Amino acid sequence: MEKILDRFLRYVAVDTQSDPQSESQPSAEKELSLLKMLRDELLEMGVEAQLDEFGYVMGRIPSNCSEDIPAVGFIAHVDTAPDASGKDIKPQIIRDYDGGDIPLKGVEGLALSPSDFPEMLSYKGHTIITTDGTTLLGADDKAGVAEIMDAVQYIVEHPEFKHGDICIGFTPDEEIGRGVVKFDVKKFGARYAYTMDGGAVGELEYENFNAASACVRIQGRNLHPGYAKGKMLNAILIGMELNSLLPVEQRPEYTEGYEGFYHIIGFEGSVEKAEFSYIIRDHDIDLYEQRKKFIQKCVDFINEKYGEGTATVEIKHQYYNMRKEVEPHYHIVEKAKKAMEMEGIVPLIKPIRGGTDGANLSFMGLPCPNIFAGGHNFHGKLEFVPLESMEKASKVILNIVSLYCE
C-alpha cells in the first residue's frame, strides 16, 4: 500500500484554491487537476469512478456481503481556502516531535509554538506536518481526501474485508460555500454519509452554524479636499461607521461554543466607493434571522443619516444547521462514535463553528455528520496535521464500514 503520508504530500502539491469571485462550477479550473487525479487513481485501483461536468468525483465499491446493508458514503473537498495561498506549498515534516517550538523556515522569526497552541503538546513523539510559513498546508481538506483514499486502497487490497456498498465523493468549492450546490445525491447512491472534514482527533459533529454572507456597498461623494466642507461623503469612513454599529463582543475572536458572530472578511474602497464583506453565523435559527435583520437595520440607519442610497446590502444564505436533518437518524452518529472507540479514541461530540458539505447534503436528503481529519489552524500559514491523526481517521472509516456490515 502507498503510505498515507506520501499520498497526502502528493495531493497538497496541487494548487486547488477556490475563487469566490468566479461564477463557474468549479470556481477555479485548477481544482480539476486534483479531481482528475483522484478519478484516475480510483480507476487504477479497480474502483468504478467518474468525474462529472460540475467537478464531482463519485466512486462506488459494490458490497461483498449477502445481507441488505445500507450504502454508506465518505466525502471530502479538494479546494483550499481563499484566505491564504495554496500555491507551491513546501511542507515541513517534523518526526518524533519533542514538544518545543517548530520554526517555519520560509519566514524568518515565524514559528509554531505550544505557548500559542498548547494542543501541540498532545502530539509529542508524533510526526507533524507543517507549512514553511509562506502558504497554508491544505490539510483542510486534503487530509480527508488522503484518509478516504487510504481506506479505499485497503478495502481493494483486502477482499476478505466485509462491507456493504461504499460510495466515495470528492467535491470542489466547499470553502466558498458552493461545494454541493449541483451534487446529485440520487446518483451518488448512499443512504447515509460522513464528511471527513473535522479538526483534531475525536471530533464528531452533527451541528453547525446557520450561515449567510453580506456585502455592504457604500456610495460616497468625492470632492477636492480643500473645498469639501459640508459636501464630501467619505465612503471609507461611512463604512467604518456602519461597522462600528455591530457589537464588538460578537466578533469571532470573542465567541465560542454555540455563540454566533459577525465577521468582516474583506474591505476595498476609496472616498467615492467602498465595499465591506461579512459572514454571519449562528447555530440558533431565530438568532440567525435576527442577525441578518440587524445588518439591514444598520444600513437603514446610515441611509437615514446620509441620504437614501448611501448604503446597500446584499445578503446571501449559504447553509443551515444540519442537526434538524441528522438527529432523526442518530444511529449514524452512534456508529461513528463506536468506530472511534474501537481505535481507543475518546469521541468529542460538539457543534461545528463553521460548516461542511454535509450541512447542505443533509438538507438534500443525505444525512451527513462530520468526522475529524486531524488538522489544526486551518486557513492560514500556521496550519499543521499529525500523521498519526490521519492514520487513525483512515481506520475509523474502515470501522464505520464494518459496523454497517454488522
Q: What pLDDT is attached to residue 388? A: 98
| Distance of alpha carbon 392 from alpha carbon 307, whole angstroms | 59
Q: Compute the average pLDDT of residues 187-201.
A: 97
Position 134, amino acid = T
Sign of CA dihedral 35, 36, 39, 45: negative
- Which H/E stretch holds residue 336? helix 331-341
Q: Longest C-alpha distance within the chain, in Å? A: 85
Q: Are 148 and 47 in contact (CB under 8 A)?
A: no
Pairwise CA distance, residues 369 & 347, whole Å? 13
Of residues 72, 162, 90, 163, the one with CA closest to residue 130:
90
Contacts for 152 with CB less than 8 Å, ≥ 6 apart: 42, 45, 47, 59, 61, 166, 168
What does the DSSP 8-state code read for residue 19? Answer: -
Q: Is 68 exposed, middle or buried (0-12, 13-18, 19+ CB in 10 A)?
A: exposed
Contact residues for 301 (Cβ-Cβ < 8 A; gap 6+): 242, 245
Number of structural domains (the chain) is: 2
pLDDT value of position 235: 98
229 and 204 in one domain?
A: no
* Residue after which a domain boundary falls, among 319, 341, 359: 319
Residues 315 and 325 in one domain: no
The CATH code of the domain that includes 98 is 3.40.630.10
177 vs 127, residue with greater confidence: 127
Residues 274, 290: Cα–Cα separation, whole Å: 25
For 226, list phi and psi in degrees, rounded to 5. -70, -20
Torsion angle of C-alpha atoms 78, 137, 263, 207, degrees rounded to 10: 50
**Distances, alpha carbon 147 to alpha carbons 130, 163, 388, in Å:** 17, 17, 11
- C-alpha to C-alpha distance for 85 and 302, rounded to whole angstroms: 35
Whether 86 and 163 map to the same domain: the answer is: yes
For position 235, which CATH number holds? 3.30.70.360
Confidence of residue 1 (pLDDT cuts 50, 70, 90): low
Q: Which of 284, 319, 354 is the last residue of a domain?
A: 319
Q: Where are the alpha helices (DSSP H) in 13-51?
A: 31-44
289-316 pLDDT, tens digit per residue, is 999 999 999 999 999 999 999 999 999 9
- Burial pattern 275-291, b for ≥16 Cβ within 10 A else e, equals ebbbbbbbbeeeebeeb
Judge if 300 and 343 occupy the same domain: no
For residue 66, the model assigns a pLDDT of: 77
Same domain, 315 and 363: no
Of 154, 195, 198, nearest to 398 (Cα)? 154
Pair (98, 196) in one structural domain: yes
Task: Give the Cβ contact number of residue 73 at 10 Å.
Answer: 25
Find the range with the poorest average confidence among 23-27, 67-71, 256-260, 362-366.
67-71
pLDDT digits (tens, 9 = 90+) for 254-296: 999 999 999 999 999 999 999 999 999 999 999 999 999 999 9
Q: Do the beta carbons of residue 105 and residue 92 sit within 8 Å?
A: yes
Domain boundaries, position 59: 4-208+321-405
Q: Which pLDDT belongs to residue 383?
A: 98
- Do 193 and 124 belong to one domain? yes
| 248 in the same domain as 188 | no
Provide the annotated active-site residues: 79, 174
Is 361:185 a contact under the CB 8 Å cutoff? yes
For residue 385, the cross-strand partners are 129
Task: Report the alpha-carbon distance of residue 356 to residue 196 in Å, rounded.
Answer: 9
How far is residue 369's CA from residue 192's CA, in Å, rounded to a whole number? Answer: 9
Q: What percent of the chain has pLDDT over 70?
A: 100
Q: In this structure, what DSSP letter does residue 328 have? A: G
Are 59 and 202 members of one domain? yes
> In terms of domains, do 203 and 237 share one?
no
Q: How far apart are CA 151 and CA 61, in angstroms?
A: 12
User: Residue 68: what pLDDT?
Assistant: 86
Q: Where does a domain end: 295, 319, 343?
A: 319
Report the pLDDT averaged over residues 19-25. 93
Q: Alpha-carbon distance 148 to 144, whole Å?
A: 6
Instruction: Clarify whether residues 197 and 288 are in a common domain.
Output: no
In this structure, the answer to whether residues 144 and 36 fall within a common structural domain is yes
Across 180-333, where does the E strand assignment appear? 192-198, 203-205, 210-219, 261-269, 273-282, 311-319
Answer whether 376's CB lies under 8 Å from 117's CB: yes
Tell me the pLDDT of the chain averaged across its residues: 96
pTM: 0.90
Answer whether residue 126 shows pLDDT above 70. Answer: yes
Q: Residue 206 carries which side chain, given as an amino acid letter?
A: Y
- Looking at residue 400, its pLDDT comes to 98
Q: What percent of the chain has pLDDT over 90?
A: 95
26-65 tens-digit pLDDT: 999 999 999 999 999 999 999 999 999 999 999 999 999 8
